[in-house]
Amino acid sequence: MKKLTEISDDILCPCGSKNPYAFCCKGKVLWKQDPKGKIYRSDKLSDEAVEVLKRYKKELEKKLGRPLKPSDKLFPGFNPRKFTEVLIQAFFKAKFHPQHIYTYLALDGLFVTPENIAKLTTDDKQLYDGFVNEFWDLSLQEKALVLSFLIKKDASKIAPVYNFKFCLKYLQDFKDEKPDLNDYKKFSNDLDLNEHIKPFDLNDHLNDDKEDSND
């Protein structure tokens, strides 16, 4: 296992802000480097995430019929596109605020929540604020056009359903209602994914790469 140490204060912050680490992400995001100088972002997982990973590890070992090896991938054949499709469907069915869906897609899958907003890199925080402002500067039709475009770009298989017409109607239901970052907590606490999407099946994820090769 590589031994990682925190980068020095005077190194330009890896987040891309072009400011020294000491005056940028230090205290919010921990950046470490290995003996060869390769830099990694170090994030502490929540207790809930640790428990989910432990359960998934046991399920994967049962599927493989052996303990995991250091060289094994924890998510073999993981399909990011399918994961995004599942989340988008869940967002809409749970009546998630369109600003959250917009920023999630515009930031390439970055969730901004009350728990992590203070820990965003300087660059990510600026991008997030910019996309929030952009969302509210757009007209209703422009919002629907951009939102449907982002869905088509990241989740093309479900794009025919979540098209411009659908997005426009969805946005009209919210009118000028402002969202709350705590919506994420309500979303995660109240939403039962099994009510909206096919329940998680390890076999699907193990075979995703085969499905893609046949598309």
Q: What is the pLDDT of residue 203?
A: 46
Alpha helices in 7-66 (DSSP H): 47-64
Same domain, 190 and 86: yes
On whether residue 165 sits in a domain, the answer given is yes
Q: Between the CA of residue 73 and those of 28, 64, 70, what are the distances in Å? A: 29, 12, 8
On whether residue 113 sits in a domain, the answer given is yes
Same domain, 93 and 184: yes
Q: What is the pLDDT of residue 51?
A: 85
pLDDT of residue 197 exceeding 60, the answer is no
Same domain, 7 and 100: no
On whether residue 214 sits in a domain, the answer given is no
Same domain, 94 and 197: yes
Note down the domain range covering 23: 1-43
On whether residue 213 sits in a domain, the answer given is no
Which 3 state secondary structure label does DSSP give 78?
Answer: coil
Per-residue pLDDT tens digits for 53-64: 888 888 888 988
Residue 51 structure tokens:
């428990």
On whether residue 95 sits in a domain, the answer given is yes
On whether residue 215 sits in a domain, the answer given is no
On whether residue 5 sits in a domain, the answer given is yes
Q: What is the pLDDT of residue 186?
A: 63
Same domain, 156 and 181: yes
Same domain, 115 and 132: yes
Q: What is the mean pLDDT of the chain?
A: 81
Per-residue pLDDT tens digits for 95-150: 889 999 999 999 988 888 877 888 888 888 999 999 999 999 999 999 999 999 99
On whether residue 115 sits in a domain, the answer given is yes
pLDDT of residue 190 exceeding 70, the answer is no
Rounded to whole angstroms, how far apart are CA atoms 118 and 154? 27
Q: Percent of the chain having pLDDT more than 70?
A: 83
Q: Between the CA of residue 96 and those of 22, 64, 214, what are the distances in Å? A: 37, 37, 33
Rounded to whole angstroms, how far apart are CA atoms 69 and 76? 13
Average pLDDT over residues 76-84: 80
Q: What is the pLDDT of residue 159?
A: 92
Q: How many structural domains does the chain have? A: 3
Same domain, 57 and 131: no
Same domain, 53 and 67: yes
Average pLDDT over residues 150-170: 93
State the pLDDT confidence band at 188, using cuts at 50, 70 and 90: low
Q: What is the pLDDT of residue 200?
A: 41
Rounded to whole angstroms, how far apart are CA atoms 31 and 14? 8
Same domain, 85 and 118: yes
